Structure 1
Amino acid sequence: MPTYSALTTLPGNAPADALALALEDITPEPTGIGVFEIEDGSGLWEVGCYFTEGPDEIALDLLAAAHGARPFAVSELPETDWVAKVRRDLSPVEAGRFFVYGSHDADKLPAGRTGLLIEAAMAFGTGHHGTTLGCLNALDRLLSAGMQAETVADIGCGTAVLGMAAAHGWPITVLASDIDPVAVEVAEANVIANGLQDRVVCLEATGLDHPDLAANAPYDLIFANILKGPLIDLAPSMAGATRAGGRIILSGLLNDQAEDVSAAYLAAGFTLEQADIVGDWSTLTMIRT
């Protein structure tokens, strides 16, 4: 069955949401609609939708014009077995002591390494993305330096790979939260697959806004691998939730965004311990003063 995509951009979140809402009423009906901020400082938002039959390009052009968006770019996507493709393309990832792999590569886990099983169907958060890799490397460095932690949270956990890595590093229970209920389900499945269901608790939460997260504070370590805007917004809350001398590991940042995020956390009472770059992405390790 062919699949078609239609993508456009326009300035501002509210106009993008309005266009996405209008797309729900066109015929043929999209099978999925998404709205995403383009994290390049342009202020543009992308609106995308998918169809299982050829879309009405005239209707799309009229909607785009009415909402101040660029004309939709419509493409027919090749039929692909995405899970099989991910299995072919995503080899295991090594980050210090951590070895992130799919079940199809279970026989490649080296002796003496800490294995983190993430299924191939869950591409983001496998460790291949520079943000996840940067966070794992930062955690490995803290463990090698002898850091001890009793309370750890993974905010915006996605697959929960960072929370699971922390649970392997210290004999504690880690809280892993995400705003997306589907991500929480994925995280729970990964936690069970890794035999960590008693060590990593998955929660649905916006930022740190959950009673269990509040009850467990202050934290010795908090991961937040999300995006520039939410990271800056969270700075005061992160300061309140991190104990003096505790650390945070921040990522989800393009290299040219790191300075703005660092400044927000410096103002909130943190100092920068180390900035790591993996390709286009930065990871910041900071200490609560």
Structure 2
Amino acid sequence: MPTIRVQIRAPEIEAKRISEVLERAFEDEGNPVTVYETKADGSEWAAEILLFDMAAEEAADCVRDRVGSDAFAAPVEAEELPEENWVEKSLEGLKPVRAGRFFVHGSHDRDKRPANALAIEVEAALAFGTGHHGTTAGCLMELDRLLDRRSYSRVLDLGTGTGVLGIGIAMKTRRPVIATDIDPIATETAAENSRKNGVGALVTCFTAAGVDDRRFADYGPFDLVVANILAKPLVRMAAPVSRRMRREATLVLSGLRIEDGPRIISAYGMQGFRLVRRRAIEGWLTLVLTRGRIGA
């Protein structure tokens, strides 16, 4: 399956704006989008997206069609990349991340683990979520706070990616966690990472296309659900997810831009949830909502 890199070069402000447009245009597919400096003097930046299973010219046309040909003053360039795990390669060398008591790191940084931290070792992978993204870090910070204040007996990590959130919850609580994803690669990655981090017996991973899967009924109803996905699917799943939860329950939602907050709060407000906390990191938003008499 060919990997096509589509790139738009522009000054910093414009490149960052373009990257946000690309994220929104391809948010349902979850294609990786990055923005970075290309000249040492800061005069040029690049917004970049990876597309798969198409020719370079087709990928460039796809980008133009999604965002509108007049959206960018700069030309759209596309090229086929060699067969490598480019998501993994782009994450190589990332520094460890501290999020509350959690410390997310790669194997090359084991010696940097603080003595009092809950260290989660996760290598870069095709599955989303290594702790370095603002959404994952925000979720970990809120989970660290929540789990200090209340115990939860049935926990669901929905859209688990690399499994970081489910692993963190299991580490901190030593209680079972259900971790699911629509992507079997993510499910396999989460299961393997759970084993490597010593919580394989606590984290149950399975692949499911949606929460209508009967296994959610078997393991639920849940009193804590964490979902680090994207705004559109989170809105679409508000009612079915809420039905899998207890009357008194807590939601931690992320994968959101700041401007997504109102529609998420509204969608889950219709299911009886109210906003109790919000956290913004690098333009990304994490929301904590509760239903019933639960505080946060």
For normalisation by structure 2, the TM-score amounts to 0.74
Displacement of 1:86: 3.2
Give the Cα–Cα distance (whole angstroms) in 2 for the partners of residues 193 and 209 of structure 1: 30
* Residue 193 (structure 1) aligns with: 196
Tell me whether 1:139 sits opposite 2:143 in the alignment: yes
Tell me whether 1:104 sits opposite 2:104 in the alignment: no
8 Å CA contact 1:117, 1:194 repeated in 2: yes
Pairing of 1:119-130 with structure 2 (within 5 A): 119-121=123-125, 124-130=128-134
Which residue, 211, 214, 224 being the options, matches 1:211? 214
Give the Cα–Cα distance (whole angstroms) in 2 for the partners of residues 279 and 148 of structure 1: 30
* Residue 172 (structure 2) aligns with: 169
Corresponding residue SS for 2:226: strand
* Residue 261 (structure 2) aligns with: 258
8 Å CA contact 2:127, 2:162 repeated in 1: no
Which residue, 135, 140, 156 being the options, matches 1:153? 156
Give the Cα–Cα distance (whole angstroms) in 1 for the partners of residues 289 and 270 of structure 2: 12
Give the Cα–Cα distance (whole angstroms) in 1 for the partners of residues 115 and 157 of structure 2: 27
* Cα gap change, 1:123 to 1:213, in 2 (>3 Å): closer
* Cα gap change, 1:123 to 1:91, in 2 (>3 Å): farther
- Structure 2: which amino acid aligns with 1:132? T
* Residue 34 (structure 1) aligns with: none
* Cα gap change, 1:44 to 1:105, in 2 (>3 Å): closer
8 Å CA contact 1:7, 1:49 repeated in 2: no
Corresponding residue SS for 2:210: coil
1:55-90 CA-partner distances (Å, limit 9, x unpaired): 685x888999999985963236699996576342x1
Tell me whether 1:86 sits opposite 2:87 in the alignment: no
8 Å CA contact 2:27, 2:230 repeated in 1: no
8 Å CA contact 1:158, 1:186 repeated in 2: yes
* Residue 14 (structure 1) aligns with: none
- Structure 1: which amino acid aligns with 2:255? G
- Structure 2: which amino acid aligns with 1:86? L
Corresponding residue SS for 1:157: coil
* Residue 116 (structure 1) aligns with: 120
Corresponding residue SS for 2:162: coil
* Residue 202 (structure 1) aligns with: 205
8 Å CA contact 2:139, 2:252 repeated in 1: yes
Tell me whether 1:75 sits opposite 2:79 in the alignment: yes
Displacement of 1:215: 1.3
- Structure 1: which amino acid aligns with 2:290? I
* Residue 13 (structure 2) aligns with: none
Which residue, 237, 242, 248 being the options, matches 2:240? 237
1:30-49 CA-partner distances (Å, limit 9, x unpaired): xxxxxxx9554799988934
Aligned-pair RMSD on alpha carbons?
A: 3.6
- Structure 1: which amino acid aligns with 2:120? L
* Cα gap change, 1:79 to 1:178, in 2 (>3 Å): closer
* Cα gap change, 1:105 to 1:122, in 2 (>3 Å): farther
Give the Cα–Cα distance (whole angstroms) in 2 for the partners of residues 87 and 108 of structure 1: 17
* Residue 226 (structure 1) aligns with: 229
Segments of structure 2 that go 5 or more residues without pairing to the other structure are 9-20, 32-49, 70-74
* Residue 267 (structure 1) aligns with: 270
* Cα gap change, 1:250 to 1:63, in 2 (>3 Å): closer
8 Å CA contact 1:156, 1:207 repeated in 2: no
- Structure 2: which amino acid aligns with 1:5? R
Displacement of 1:199: 0.5
Corresponding residue SS for 2:175: coil
- Structure 2: which amino acid aligns with 1:170? T
* Residue 5 (structure 2) aligns with: 5
* Cα gap change, 1:180 to 1:210, in 2 (>3 Å): same
Q: What is the percent sequence identity of the aligned residues?
A: 39
Say which one has the larger Rg: 1
Displacement of 1:211: 2.2
